[in-house]
Amino acid sequence: MRISVYNYFWDIITTVHLPISKWLESAWYIANETGCANALEMLNLIDLGSYHTALSVLNKLRSAVSRCEKPKLKDTVIVDDVFIKSDTDGFPYHTYIAVEVIENGYGQIRMELHSKTDYFSFIRRNIEKGSIVQTNGTNIYVKVPEEYQLAVINKKSGSKMLPLVENVVNEILYRRLLGGRQSSCSYSNYDLCLEECCFKLNRKNKKAESLFEEILRSALKTETTQ
């Protein structure tokens, strides 16, 4: 057996030439920021030299966030698509959203850009086989992959979204996980912003220290090959 170690963190710190202390400060900022991280704020707090450098560091660390453990959703999961504005006057990005149904509320969530995936692939990538997938039963949502069970549910009176999906979107906007001051969330990197949003919402009861450690563990990836 041959063991090869791919040190992702070494790769990113040599791509953007900064002291290791700056990378650690930047990772701590992302973990400690309860809303969506912002490149300009990070630049002002950490002195990374330029906005371009700060944005590059932010997106590389968001890539590490996207590699963090993401167990598939299970049991009963609501799937829909929503338009979420990045701020009050921003462009609404079309995303698929999956919300795990638990007693007295919702559990984990997943989101992906509508333009970068398709309905069946989104389900298979994010939900355990055999789970019940709840949809509104219209258009593409009239069926699910054969490995899943379909359950059609209705929207609440006067609502544009399915139950729990509306609650999730409201919390995302309230916590500014995708809302406000999003100059560092353009369409080209919005998938990484979605990863950060899900990461923080799914770990909302964890302390910043725990998130910081998880980001660093993800940045140091070990691969085992034969």
> Domain boundary at 174, 195, 216, which?
174
Residue 36 falls inside a structural domain: yes
- Residue the block writes with tokens 């590059």: 56
Residue 14 falls inside a structural domain: yes
| Digitized pLDDT (tens) for each residue of the chain, 226 residues in all | 333 334 555 555 555 578 889 999 999 999 999 988 989 899 999 989 899 999 999 999 999 999 999 999 999 999 999 988 755 556 678 999 999 999 989 999 999 999 999 999 999 999 999 999 999 999 999 999 999 999 999 888 778 889 899 999 999 988 888 855 555 677 778 899 999 999 999 999 999 999 999 999 998 764 433 3
Residue 179 falls inside a structural domain: no
Residue 80 falls inside a structural domain: yes
Q: How many domains does the chain have?
A: 2
Same domain (yes/no): 93, 161:
yes
Domain housing 168: 76-174
Residues 6+ apart with CB under 8 A from 210: 203
Same domain (yes/no): 83, 166:
yes
Same domain (yes/no): 83, 169:
yes
Q: Please give the full DSSP string across 79-112, using - where no structure is assigned.
A: EEEEEEESSTTSPEEEEEEEEEEETTEEEEEEEE
